[in-house]
Amino acid sequence: MDISTLDMELLNTILLIIAVIGTVSYAISGALTGIESKLDLFGVIVLAVITATGGGFLRDLILGKSRFVIFEEWWYPLIAFAVSGLVFAVMWFIKDLSWEDSRAYRLTYLIIDSVGLGAFVIVGVLRAQTIGNVSNEGQLIFYSLLTCVGGSLLRDLLVMRIPAIFRKHIYAVAAIIGSIYFVFMAKVIGNIWLNSITTVLIVVTIRFFAARYKWNFPKIHLKNEENCK
Which pLDDT tens digit goes with each residue over 46-76? 999 999 999 999 999 998 887 888 888 889 9
What SS3 class is residue 86? helix
Q: Residue 150 and residue 43: Cα distance in Å, rounded?
A: 19
Domain ranges of the chain: 3-217
Are 131 and 57 in contact by the 8 Å Cβ rule? The answer is: no
b/e for 194-205, b at 16 or more Cβ within 10 A? ebbebbbebbbe
Q: pLDDT for 26-48, tens place per residue?
A: 999 899 999 989 999 999 999 99
Q: What is residue 57's predicted lDDT score, i.e. its pLDDT? A: 93
Q: pLDDT for 181-190, tens place per residue?
A: 999 988 887 7
Q: How far lies 96's CA from each of 41, 87, 100, 123, in Å?
A: 16, 13, 9, 35
Give whichever of 12-21, 62-71, 82-91, 122-131 has the largest mean pLDDT: 82-91
Q: What is residue 182's predicted lDDT score, i.e. its pLDDT? A: 93
Q: Cβ–Cβ contacts within 10 Å for residue 17, how many?
A: 13
CA atoms within 13 A on the CB side of 95: 1
Non-local (6+) Cβ contacts of 35 within 8 A are: 44, 87, 88, 91, 97
- Region 162-174: mean pLDDT is 80
Q: pLDDT for 66-105, tens place per residue?
A: 788 888 888 999 999 999 999 999 988 887 666 666 777 7
Least confident of 20-24, 57-61, 210-214: 210-214
Q: What share of the chain is helix, strand, coil (3-state, %, to 5)?
A: 80, 0, 20
Q: What is residue 157's predicted lDDT score, i.e. its pLDDT? A: 94
- Region 191-220: mean pLDDT is 88
Left if phi > 0, otherwise alpha if psi is -120 to 50, otherwise beta: which for 38?
Answer: left
Give the residue among 45, 51, 83, 87 at the shortest CA–CA distance from 70: 51
Reported confidence tier of residue 5, pLDDT bands at 50, 70, 90: low
Q: Is 92 exposed, middle or buried (0-12, 13-18, 19+ CB in 10 A)?
A: exposed
% of the chain at pLDDT higher than 90: 47
